[in-house]
Structures are given as C-alpha cells and as structure tokens.
Structure 1
C-alpha cells in the first residue's frame, strides 16, 4: 500500500483488511506560513519542535528549517523502582509534565515564537506499557522497556504456548523483557482490577500524540516491539495472537514515525502554549529518533547510542531475524532494522559517580591516565541483568582482579571497557544475522569522550561523530520537518571520526575472550544470588 503524507494506516479486525484513514491535517500554502522575527538573524519562516522522554531526563529542541538549533531544554526526572526488577514512570508527572514544561521553555526562548511553529515531533523510551481506560486516562504507572523484568514467567509461558520459532518468524524477535505482550499478560494476572478497566495502552510517544491531537495511534516500529502482537512481514497487527494475549484490548491505528497523524487541539494548545492546528507526527521510540537525528537510516547504517543504556541499530532492506536480537521495521516504510540493547551503560557510570562522590569530569580525567586493561581489572556490566545478546535478567555485575592498589579511576575505566566489550558482543550477533555494517555513527551524551575511543579500540572500527549529539529530540524535529517537505540532509553533518588506537586494540583483543569466559564462569553463581534476593 502506498503511504500518503497526511494519512496513516489502520487495520480493521472485522474485515481483515488494511485501510488508509485521512488525518485532519492539510499542509498550508507556503505563503500562509507566519514568520517569526529573530533579531539580527533575520526572519525565520518555520520552526520545528522535537521532544524526547528519556529514562532519566526529557529533552527538547527548537530547530529552524535550515537546521539551526534555536533553543534547547532539559527536564531531569527519576525512575521509580518499587521492587527489584521493576522500573516505572508516572505518565502525568513525568511524561506529560516534562513535555508541557519543555515546550513552554522552548517557546519562551529568544528567536522562537509560537506562531512560527510549523510542526511537532515526539519520541520516548520504549517499548513501554501504560494501561489506560477507553478515554485514554492512565490507570497505573507505565511499565518500562527491557530493564523491567517482572514478566519472566509470562515470557516463558507465552513462548511455550505460541512456539519460539513461530514467534521469531512472525514477529521478528524472541519474547524477552523488552516485549510488551508478556507484560500485558502479567498485568491481567497480577493486577486484575487494573486490567478489567484497561481498554487501550500507550508508550511515551503515543501518549503525547494522544494528548496533543486526540488520536489513538502508534508507529509501526514501536508496534513491532509489542511482541507477539505485530506481524513483521505483513507490517500490521497480528489480531489472532493479540486476542489470545490481551483479549478486549483496543489496538491503536498504525502510522510511520514521520507521518502527520493529527493537529494540536485547543485543550492541548492551552496546556502547552502551542497554537491550535499545528501538525503532529506519529513519533517513535527514542533510539530510532536518534538514528533519524544523524540520518543513519540507509541499509548498512549502524548507530551506537551512548545513554543510560547502550543501544545499537543497523538498517537493512529486508527483515532480519536473530534469536539474540530484536528484528523490527525501520523508521521509513521501505526499511527494516536489527536492534540490540544493553541493560546498563551510562547508568553504570552514574552509579560509580554517586558511589565515589565525584563528578564525571574528574572521573574521566582520572580514567584517561589509566592504561587500557584498567591495571588488571575486568568487569561484567550486568548490574541490571542483561538484554541482548544474553537475554538474561538474572545476570549480575562482576568485577574481577581487584587489589588494594586499585581505586575509582581503574573501576571507572573498567566500566567503560565493560560496555565496550558489550558493544563488540552485540556487533558479532549483527554479523551472525547477516547484517551489513557500512558505517558506525556515535550519538548520545557519551559520544564525545574517552568512552568512544575505548569502544572503537574494542570493536576495531571507526565511529563517526556528528555536529549535534543533543539526542532523539533533534531526530523528532527532523522527522516533523520532513513531513512538511523540508530537506534536512544538512542538519547534522559528521564533524569527526574516532579511529581505533591499535595499541589499545591489541590489549582489548586479548581481554575480550576473558570477558566472554567470565560470564560463563559466574552465571550460575549470579543466578543463585539473584534468586535469593528475589525470594526476600
């Protein structure tokens, strides 16, 4: 089916047919577009807003049509952990409050005028499960993505019920803590009162779209991580399995991340300061918006995202499947993706920062003086279990080789090296799946530091560094601009390349097999300790 700007795809379970439903958006003529005065920079005809809801903070950006960033805004927030292995966000006080606060801050910045906003794009952490009633009102805090491991029993149950090979063949991914389907069954089993009231579900981006436009819509990529509810080859909901896993749940209409799905309605305009009638795109999960921010969307493009968790994507021309990775659609209708994600990375270094009472600048400066190999330390970064390619929620962090001469500098460098080995492990899985890696682009808060150099040395590949590493919110703005026909090719050029240090690489080539062996050697002990804590 040809996708048309200003429309989005939906699926009718009753007739078993796909349809195209027109949104209310019609692109205004250029002559009707207002202009915002920006002092000595001259008039700006269009401004695009992008807002991303992250694990530990939300970020927003206002970008001119020529790619110039006019304003940025950030809101830190906390993730609730009511029980070990549970990670939650309150949709009102985190997702919606962050969004409205960020938008108002951006609109108040110099050079930005509300009347000049041409479109809004959104993204957020995912896949998440926010149960809601028929009116879209949240019924409990959102259950977050793969770091939340509460549905272990339901993963095993559904895998046995539907068949592991069939799940991989139909959905593109095995059932893991990343999947929404098992968490839906967990909700029905453990919170029956909430489940009886549940009619809809949201992720961070789709809730924002709903609040802004009233539309109940989810992008194809996010839907593709609702395993086993989505059919990857058919690119539609798998209604048979959906009814089996979550009977009575109304599934959202499907759209591509860069499609306009509605416009800001009056109530949302009053809450945010945006003008009513501004187009809003469907949005997506943050990692794919981040890939859009650096235009890493062509086959062979690989993105390494340095954030609270390390995330990797590689694009392809056809569906790719691997039992230790996630196979999904891409951002564009003609693309597919393999994805990998570690459970910790930036969150691990943040833990060390808090533990030592230091700051990142000091720790990085000290770690730079430590030789590769961290003076005999080796760490496993599984402090919150591990996602790909182990899919082991009971894995645990390990440090081996400690002596009395080791300090925080060696520990910090060992943590950076541990995440680098995790990247190498995942890239090997990409290669096993037949993915082509033509170039690597580094994004996120850690993309301009010692960390990037360590990763390049550990994997033996260069990484490109873009001018802007502001994050997914820039990709949101770019997708919104593209939806209105703006050419964003020059928005975020590559400005540097990190080449592997060959001396470091030799050290890491020797150390990597030990990293792999350490997990095998300590797995049973880690599982026993994890089970003991869970039983408390």
Structure 2
C-alpha cells in the first residue's frame, strides 16, 4: 500500500497522519506540548520539540502500519514564527511565535515611522502588527545582540522540519509574505532594500510554493525517523493555510474558518486586497491572494474556563446549551491574550459584562462561545468591507467536533458553514500536498474526493435580531472599556 505522511506543529500539539492514496487515514497520533510565556506578551517555544515530536510521530505511524510505502512527506506548522539559527544550524534562542507574541510593539512603531504606512502597505500588503515576523527579527537584533551576532538563517516550523529532513534552506511564499515588511507581495520576492536594513545578518531562504518539493530525505534523517532515504518532502506552509487545503477551501471565493487554540479566517481571491485591520498575504498556491484574520483566543479561552471551573467539556457544553442564546444577559470580550484582527490591539484584555450572583459557569461558557462568534462576525464584516467576495465558508479544526459552537457561530454571523467529513486538520492537508506533489501529471488526487462535505450548519433566523443587538453591544463595549483596559494592561506588564 502506498501513502503519504503529514505532520503539523501546532500551538498546543503536534499531529501526524499516515494517509492512503485515496485519502483514507491509515493511522494518526498526537503529541501534546505547551508554549513558554516567560514575560507578559512573550510566547516562545523550544524548536527542539518540533523535531523530537516529528521523529517520534513518524516512528509510531510507520510501526502502526508497517506495510505502507511512504512516497512523500508533508510538513506544516504554526506561524509566522521566528526561529533564528547559527552557522551550524543550532537555534540561537527559542522560537518567537506568531501574533499572540506581542513583544515587538516598539519595533513596529519605529519601523512604521521610518518606512511609512503607505509604503509598507504598497510593498507588503499589510500594516505592521504583532503578526509581522520582520518586526520580531528586528526585536532580536535590538534586544538580544549576543543572539543576533550568531544568527545566520531564518526558519519557521514547517521549513525547519523540511530542513532537518532534507538539508534544504527554503521558505514558502505564504509564510514569507507574513515576514513583514521584508517581502514584496506583488513581485513575489524578498524586498532587498528592507531585508538589508533589518535582517542583513541573515541569508534569505530560497522561496518556493507550499506544495513544491523542497528535497529528499537524507540518510541521517532516515535513520532518525524511519522514513526511507530519498523520499520527497514538500516545503509546506503555515498551519491555517494547510488546513484550508485539507478541506478544499483555497479557491477564489472561499473562506476557511479554523476552530483551534486560536480562531483563524482566510478569504481567498485573485486580487491583492489591502485594509489596515486585516492581513494581506500571498496564497498557498501561485496566482492566489488572501485576506486573513485571527482571534488571539478561542479554544484557549474555553480551555481556560474548563481549568478554572474544574469541569469537563461535555458538562460545560450541556450547561451552555441550557443557558441559551445571550447567556442570560452576559457579554464577553474574548481578548484575554490581546487581540489580533480586526482591532489589532495587543493591549486589549478580556472583559465580562453583566455578571450577577445568579450567573453560573454554564452562562460563562456560553458567553465565551458567543464571544468568539462575535469576533468571527467582526472579522467577516471587515473582510467584506475591504472587497472580499465570500461565497463559500468551510469550518475546520478540533472545535468543529462540538455542534453547539458551530451553531452559535452560524447564528451570530448569519452564515451557512460547510463541515467536511475529515476535520483532523493541517496534518491531513500536508499529506494531501505531498500526494499531489508526487502524483502523475493529470492524475493528481482531488481534495473533494479525499474529503467531501458531510454537513451544513444553517443559522436560526429567529435569533437574528438578538445577535444583531449583541454584536452592536460587543463593538461598543470594546470602545467604551478600551482606555481603562489599556491602563490595566500597563499595570500587568509592570507586575
């Protein structure tokens, strides 16, 4: 039997799948991990964990289905992250994670002042935010000169795995387009003047597309993983984009909505749309562009409430369903880790309004689910105002296993969501890209055959007025509490 291996490094776990040529999952496994938060606003991870977990996963999957001939390997990972390595390919410091890490505020302000918002947007598509990997590179250069003096290369989780497997030094265009302001989105290349200004010590990685073959598994990597030497490995890309591939939500007019530790949205089109409150990026494939957004918390918020209340998810979901629409007068802002889009406010914080002594943990959990749904609606409305043509919405990720959360998002947004048969995530998309890369011309697999749509979630029209009013309050609550919340964020940083 022939198959492909797909591995994705996420925020809270690394997942792997072994997939047959027809898309059937032969085996899957997960390795849980945690990120480090050494200071307020910092979110880091030891990159050694990525390779160790990849090796362990590959060995387990191969042992589980030993008669499978692995014909290609797909890699994927959270991002945009900044992993800097020295001349011996050893990390000079822990990897700095994506927009949930907000340490580069000063660099964003300085770079924006030096280059100008209009020019940054013209070259890269987006204004600089906590998602901008280029600003985090500048942070290392300014704040950790000893580490910077040893840095020679830039990696992200997917490209690090590809490098450890093949020796190739590559980065996909999609990830590169989030290394703002170092990438020229219209010409699909590094922007040399700004690379030299802010990353002069680093060798620019060779740019390829996510599904391109980066190289072949080396003898050393084969010994470490059990994958046969010479097996092709794709370049890979950021997990949200790989997840969109896993469900076929990467065509013009598609919106992928990913339910995970954070919530992510990707609208795909052919034109470069620019708006200061969202992220403009290259697509996973040549000729496509994305308008993307992300909530800093979603699953992370529900997990926080689970741990805080010492209840399990089935209990909380049952109690939230009993609470009913509107959570009995509670309204929550889900900004417990700052917020990314569309408010782009790293100093935003969580707010729970309307609490009384009569409210229960079920009300709180319902309010948390509604808060993430209100955040999704805020992003979708901002995308459409920027010109995004959203004709089809596909829901993916671990959160799709809970029907209540899906229904609340559809009710709050008024949108129909399509749920595919397989929602295992980016590891499945990575396996598909690998299969596509080695498929015979004209005989590549189709994701619609691998992963057909299994369910459609439709909004309840009876709840439209209730959630329209709640959304209005949601927007006004942020504006009304922003000044006090920013003052409290400053106190938290000082503490």
* TM-score (normalizing by structure 2): 0.98
Tell me the equivalent position of 1:456: 410
CA distance in 1, matches of 2:469, 2:129: 31
CA distance in 2, matches of 1:389, 1:169: 19
The unaligned stretches of length 5 or more in structure 2 are none
SS of equivalent residue, structure 1 residue 369? helix
The CA deviation at 1:82 is 0.5
> Does the alignment pair 1:80 with 2:80?
no
> Does the alignment pair 1:327 with 2:280?
yes
Query: Quick one: structure 1 residues 448 and 503, their matched pair in 2 at CA, closer, same or farther if it must change by over 3 Å?
Result: farther
CA distance in 2, matches of 1:398, 1:113: 53
Match of residue 142, structure 1, among 77, 81, 95: 95
Tell me the equivalent position of 2:477: 518
> Does the alignment pair 1:466 with 2:420?
yes
Tell me the equivalent position of 1:30: none
Tell me the equivalent position of 1:104: 59
CA contact (8 A) 1:66 1:488 kept: no
SS of equivalent residue, structure 2 residue 315? helix
Deviation larger for 96-105 or 519-528: 96-105
CA distance in 1, matches of 2:175, 2:423: 23
CA distance in 2, matches of 1:219, 1:361: 39
> Does the alignment pair 1:531 with 2:490?
yes
> Does the alignment pair 1:152 with 2:152?
no
> Does the alignment pair 1:482 with 2:436?
yes
CA distance in 1, matches of 2:201, 2:301: 40
The CA deviation at 1:504 is 2.5
SS of equivalent residue, structure 2 residue 271? coil
Q: Deviations for 1:336-358, whole angstroms, at most 9, x for unmatched residues?
A: 11100011000000000000001
Tell me the equivalent position of 1:419: 372
CA distance in 2, matches of 1:142, 1:442: 29
CA distance in 2, matches of 1:533, 1:357: 25
Once superposed, which parts of structure 1, at least 4 consecutive aligned residues long, lie more than 6 Å away?
Answer: none
Aligned-residue CA RMSD (Å):
0.9
SS of equivalent residue, structure 2 residue 493? helix
CA distance in 1, matches of 2:103, 2:224: 34
Q: Deviations for 1:471-496, whole angstroms, at most 9, x for unmatched residues?
A: 10000000001111231330010010
Match of residue 386, structure 2, among 423, 433, 441: 433
CA distance in 1, matches of 2:467, 2:145: 50
Tell me the equivalent position of 2:455: 496
Equivalent pairs counted in the alignment come to 489
* TM-score (normalizing by structure 1): 0.90
> Does the alignment pair 1:51 with 2:4?
no
Deviation larger for 492-501 or 134-143: 134-143
CA distance in 1, matches of 2:201, 2:139: 15
CA distance in 1, matches of 2:271, 2:471: 31
CA contact (8 A) 1:481 1:488 kept: no
